[in-house]
Amino acid sequence: MLTGILGLCIMVMRFCPGTPTARYLHHHCVARPVAWLGRLERRHLLFAMVTVGALLLAGEMIGMLGSADLMLAWTWDLTVYFDAAAVTVVLARVARVTPVVAIARSRLMAWFARSTRSPCNESDTTKSLRTASADNDEDHPNLYVQAA
């Protein structure tokens, strides 16, 4: 019977949208619930899910905790724990992704900088005036071989 009444309400709102009845039904059956759901936060939704789960096990939970009030307090504590765990997981993922994004950004910037430079000839580049022997600062290069 409830399904039939709701079906008639939907038909009135759908096929006669300009009537006062349709506007009343739309306000009370659509606009107000959507506004109420828009005010809900993540913690409210988690609390509702945990409470529904606890109510499905109501006999055992009330038996263990003593009363329904203690069961709701327990579900609120469990909701806070789930919320904190979810925030921790998100922050850990962000901490792992941030360096990867920085590396990708630097490589893209280097790639774009390389692609915008004008091509240069190798003959235009200056050669280094240093020789290989100038880089050698060891006094006795083969001393470690003799020590072995």
Nearest to 13 by CA among 29, 37, 35: 29
C-alpha distances in angstroms, 88 versus 18, 24, 74, 102?
Answer: 50, 45, 21, 22
The contacts of residue 38 (CB under 8 Å, 6+ apart) are: none
Nearest to 77 by CA among 85, 88, 66: 85
Q: What is the pLDDT of residues 14-30, one digit of tens each?
A: 999 899 999 999 999 89
Distance CA(114)–CA(3), nearest Å, equals 67
Q: What is the pLDDT of residues 85-141, one digit of tens each?
A: 988 999 888 888 888 888 888 888 888 887 666 555 555 555 555 555 655 656 666
